[in-house]
Every structure is written in C-alpha cells, then in structure tokens.
Structure 1
C-alpha cells in the first residue's frame, strides 16, 4: 500500500518551525468507528479548551475500515493525522473508546467504553461462530498485548465491572478507575432541555415513540424491519409522532441511500442521523420500542417506558443491562394494540429504571470530574479550577426526506 501523505501539524522533529502555540501536550483520539468517535468527542470536550493542550484525531486502518468514519471525523473539524503518521509518533495522552488497534499507538492510554457498560448483552462475540467460551468487554485478549496491559487508565462504570475485570484480567485491575458514564450524565444534564428537543423534532403536544435498534442480524432492524412502517401507520398522527434511531454500524455497512430507501414507506417517520441526536431524542421520548442495544438501556435508565422488539440470539448475558431490561419489560407484539403495550411499558418504567440505573453507572453526575482528573494526571498538568461538566446532548436534527 502506498504511503499516506503526512500532515504538517504540531508533531514531529520540525514542529517548532510551524506551530503558533508551542509546548502543548499532545492528545490523540483514535477513532475506528463512528460510535467510538461520538464517545471520544464527549471526552475531549473536558480538556480541549485548555491552551496547554493540542488534540488530534486519527482513523485506524490496516486493509479496511468502516465506511463513513473519516467523513464523521472531518465533520468535527479536528486535525486528522494519517494512521501511518499517528503510529510513528508518541503522544502525551491517547484516548480510545474501542479495543481496535491499541497495540499500535504510543503514549499513555485511556480506554473508555463506547456503549452502555462492559458486561456485553451477548454471551458470545459476533465473531465467535461455534465458540463455547463467553466473552465480555474486559477479556484479557482485548486489553493486553503480548503480556502488557494496554490502558494506563481503564474507565469503568460500576464496581461490578471491577469485579468482572478481576475475574477476566486481574493484572489490569490497577488501571481501573470507576468513573460512571459520561454519556448518561450528559443525558441527565440535558433533561431540562426536553421541551427544546421536542420542538426540534416537531413533536408538539403529541406523544413521541422512538424505535431504537442496535446492529447485526439479531437487532430490531434486523429481525423486525417491518415494525417501523407498522408502528407509523398504526398510531394516529394527531396524537403520536414516531422517530427512529439506528446504530451507526447499520448505516456504515448498508449505506445511507439504502437505509433511507428501506424506510421510504414510513411517511412521517423522523429518522435520526447516525452521528448525533439520539441522546436528545431519548430525552424527548414518551415510549421507546427497542432491543438489547445501548440506546434502549440508556432510555430505561432515564425512566422512559420501554418495550422490547428483539433480543440477542439465546438469552442476554446475566447481569447485563439488556438482561435487566428483558426481565422487566414486555415483548413487542405485532398483533396487539399499541396503546395497551404502551400502558404496560409505562407501568413497568419506574421499577425498570430503579434496577437499570445502578447497572449503568455507580457514579451518577460525577463522570466528568473523575475522567478529567485522570486525564490531567496522565498529562502531568495541573487541573483547571472550574468544575467539569458533561457536554449536553446535541439538538436532534432528523434527516430530510420524510413528510412529517
């Protein structure tokens, strides 16, 4: 493969001849997927205003990459380093929200999760085939390389995840920091913007139903794709509005044109783009029909009524957020009136939230401060005196093309 052209940026032996802000600590965000990228953008917001810090991005590749990732990163208007250039330099801090390619980057690494919790909803990896050994997000093969623990700081959401880490990779326990969930804290902080989010979605006084799907064949969109049109057509439009939130990997694998074509018959459906808006849409929701994906778990933690349209093959892994949601919700039934299913979800919502919330985070409203402190320690810089706050969810902007 031909060498990529390197960027004349703030790193390298001759960087001093071109920088305007000298002496900055260098931070590299490793973005292999849009999903990981959205988490890292939240994390970077905690330090990027510091005049002592220079943040850069890179999109890893070997022989392939997920479609749309580089376009997403470019839309953030950050400085993007070609992968070959990024792995040739050492950084003061490396940030990642995915296990991919971490053995190749150089510098102290902070690894956070790109979804809800480290206890995976599936017992086995999507790539496991006929495997019989259960997998989690804290398995030794994911966070070590040739006997070396990769992250200097491993951000965990709960003490239960520390226990899981002690079981799966005890040598990584010293790197663990229980930091809660920055995404959830941002959603709590954005709850006061609920009416503004609803106005952006054009909901008015109607009830908002959100159809949520993770990716892969056992997802809601994979198993019951006709649900979208069925729900839109069954609910009276003067009383209900319907929105769809699809996992970024659905868009990456199938393409935006194909997804919009598949949903083309759902007139009035508000389809959220993969890169932003789902958190605000969940805040705006009155009822969520989803699956075992993270968006459904966050909705449940926020107290939203939930109905399950799909579960992973077999049963969800015990202790996962998806398993708690499964135990406390009713499955979607295409043959039953939607209004009755909504009422059942509303009745179950308080108990569901009470059980899901501690499984998502044991540091509610503390994540920004904990993560920022850890990053500044890694950077060997004094932390700003102002409090750290999670970023508010972006205003939802549905894709054009559907008649609302």
Structure 2
C-alpha cells in the first residue's frame, strides 16, 4: 500500500490526501493497555513524512475503553472490517485477537513487563497445560502458519521459552528491549516535578498502591488494604495514590470503581485515571504496594521499596521478572501497623535488592527505540533516518477529581 487509497473516510481519500506516496503502517489497538504500549513503539516514526500511520480497534473482550483512547489521539482510524480487507506495508500489535486476518507484515510485541503470565493450553493432547502467554503456539500460529513477521522480545532469555513452546517463531524473534523500562529510567530525574503534580510537593511521602485485574489481583483479593492504609497512615505524613489496571476500569466501569472506593476517596485517597501515564506516578513513589501485575514489576526500576500485598505464584511464569520480584519483595501483613511495615521496608533498603528483577525486564537497557527503529525500517524497506531516537521522560501525571474526570 505504498500509495494508500483507502483511508478512514473511504475510496475518495486520494482526492484530499496531502501526501500520496507514503508507506502505510496500521496500529492495531486491542485494549487501552496495549494502545499505551504501541504509542511508545510508533514514536520511532515521528518526523518521517514518508510514513502514514492508521489506527484500528482489534477484537478483544476488554476493548471497551479503546474508542475513547483513539479519539483522544486524534488519529486516522478505520473500522476493523476495513482494516482487515486493506493491504498495508506494515502492521503492529501488542495483543493477538484476530491479527491473522491482517494483510501486512506484522510486528507483535508484549504489552506488559516481558512475558510473565501463564495461561492454559486450549486444546490438543496437552489441553490444560500451562503456557507462557505471548510465546505460545496457540497465539503465534494460525492454521499451521506463523502469524507475525517479527516477534519483539524484551530479553534474550525469552528465547528459551520460545524454543520450547513455539520453535518455529525463533526465526522471526528480535530482542529489542522494553520501552517502559527505558522511559522510567529517563524520567527519574523529574521525580520532584511529578510529586508536585500529585500534590505531595509539601514533603509528605507518596505511597502508590498498584493493582492488576482479576479475582487474584490486589483489588480483587485484598480490598481491605485501602481503608487500612488511610486509617493507619497519618494524613500529614503520607499521601496514598492508586493505580488500577485499565481492565478493571473498563471491565466494571468508572462509576463502579469510584463507588467501591467511595469512602476511601472521601478520606483522601487519590485515583489515577486509566488514560494518565502511570509511569510518572511510579517515578514519584516513595513506596509501591502491588501484586503480580506488570506495574508492580516496573516499580523495581524506580529504586523505591516495593511490597507485595498479594502474589499468586501459580499465575506467574517462573522464569520472569515477576517471579524474581515475588522471591525478594516483602509481603504486606494483615497484622501489625502498616506504617511500621513501610518504615521497616525502607530501613536499610537499596535498589541493589531488586537488581536481578530489573536486569530480567530487559537485556537491552536504553536501546528499545534504536532497536525497534531498525526493525521497523527493515520491514518497511525504507532507509532509516539519520537521527537515532532515545528514551524520553514521560509527561506529568494527573489525578481524578473528587467529582469525576481528571484534574
């Protein structure tokens, strides 16, 4: 589709097109989480007038927040049926639903901290066996054919699992790195600025509570933690801010989430809306309390003490950064003062404690943009720009107001 003719408004697109000889790249957004990851990826295409980027929503049961996400981008969009009947020069996705239908060389990348999640094999003699999500043949192969033209890995050690579960994908696997790791590192110098944006520029300590989604998440299994924190942490010393996985927001709805936490919000809890950049919140944290989700794992990058309020090890890939964090991070006890538990976790703490966790997130620290740029331009068959991109600090965070919406 070097001369694209079917933009989001139909076959008359070339009548109004300003540039008609662009390479076309389709970004497939299945969920808000995958969309946020894909924005980091396509950042390497900025300033290139040879490339036109289109967006579409891929099929996913947690896709309810995607239309608003795409609308906020002001992106050129097309319906899924049109996207799957149009030929593109390249497509990129961070999830798997329906991507075998695309008419383009496809890059598939993880949407979290590496490949830390276990899922069950759906069919066959080994139905029910545990597989590493995103490295398994049931998602990478369709009707006997390998789906992606390139599979992005964050760490070279992921090749071991890929060789076991889908060896035919080894030929297209590229160890590129992790954009969230790199942008978090680039953002740490702005920590005071982020704390001011979160309302804790007054010297109070920031406690970030991060929950993934599902019944074994922190919100699903320990909802009592929030009222305990607000009762036991003096308001003049601490501010509690919560990061919830977008699937929790969009699976239950903003009204329901706020209703569940209504008393806590009235008592001073701050909520980060799902459209805000959660990495700035992590960069500002003095402590992070979390679970087995990717956000908690990325918190190890910040140098703040990380505590686990829940950690269902049976759902975690044992050869992952998440598993390493589960082995070394202290647990939040249901007994005893939470204030004392936080202070104990900070006493004598050094980032060295989580060194192995951080090193397992990426084996290409600081090089995601450079490596992905090489991969994308090779598949597009375009000469790479002379400027080599690097990780940028993330924008300042914002909170949800008491009345709803952002502030």
TM-score by length of 1: 0.92
- Cα offset, 1:24, TM superposition: 0.5
- Cα offset, 1:297, TM superposition: 0.1
- Write the mapping of 1:146-185 to structure 2, written as runs, cut at 5 A: 146-185=143-182
Aligned 8 A contact 2:156 2:175 in 1:
yes
Aligned 8 A contact 1:307 1:341 in 2:
no
> Which is further off, 285-294 or 265-274?
265-274
Q: Deviations over 1:206-259 (max 9, x none)?
A: 110000000000000000112112112211111111100000000011000110
Aligned 8 A contact 1:328 1:348 in 2:
no
Query: In the alignment, which residue of structure 1 is the partner of 2:104?
Result: 107
SS of equivalent to 2:148: coil
Q: Deviations over 1:151-173 (max 9, x none)?
A: 11111011110111111111111
| C-alpha spacing 1:65/1:218, structure 2 compared with 1 (3 Å) | closer
- Cα offset, 1:313, TM superposition: 6.2
Aligned 8 A contact 2:154 2:364 in 1:
yes
Query: In the alignment, which residue of structure 1 is the partner of 2:306?
Result: 306
User: How many residue pairs are counted as aligned between the two chains?
Assistant: 394
Alignment of 1:321 onto 2:313:
no
Query: In the alignment, which residue of structure 1 is the partner of 2:206?
Result: 208
- Write the mapping of 1:107-126 to structure 2, written as runs, cut at 5 A: 107-120=104-117, 122=118, 124-125=119-120
- Write the mapping of 1:250-399 to structure 2, written as runs, cut at 5 A: 250-266=248-264, 267-312=267-312, 314=314, 316-346=316-346, 347=348, 349-399=350-400
Alignment of 1:234 onto 2:196:
no
- Write the mapping of 1:19-30 to structure 2, written as runs, cut at 5 A: 19-30=17-28
| C-alpha spacing 1:126/1:392, structure 2 compared with 1 (3 Å) | farther
Q: Deviations over 1:166-215 (max 9, x none)?
A: 11111111111111101110111111111111110011211100000000
Unaligned runs of 5+ in 2: none
Separation in 2 of the partners of 1:94 and 1:127? 26
Query: In the alignment, which residue of structure 1 is the partner of 2:129?
Result: 133
> Which is further off, 142-151 or 237-246?
142-151
| C-alpha spacing 1:367/1:95, structure 2 compared with 1 (3 Å) | same
Q: Deviations over 1:32-86 (max 9, x none)?
A: 1000000011111110321111111001238x66211111111111111111110
Query: In the alignment, which residue of structure 2 is the partner of 1:244?
Result: 242
- Write the mapping of 1:8-47 to structure 2, written as runs, cut at 5 A: 9=7, 15-47=13-45
Aligned 8 A contact 1:119 1:161 in 2:
no
Separation in 2 of the partners of 1:228 and 1:349? 26
Aligned 8 A contact 2:62 2:251 in 1:
no
Aligned 8 A contact 1:317 1:323 in 2:
yes
SS of equivalent to 2:325: helix
Separation in 2 of the partners of 1:17 and 1:168? 48
Unaligned runs of 5+ in 1: 1-6
SS of equivalent to 1:265: helix
Alignment of 1:92 onto 2:89:
yes
- Cα offset, 1:303, TM superposition: 2.1
- Cα offset, 1:342, TM superposition: 1.5
Aligned 8 A contact 1:264 1:402 in 2:
no
TM-score by length of 2: 0.91
Separation in 2 of the partners of 1:213 and 1:119? 15
Aligned 8 A contact 1:325 1:352 in 2:
no
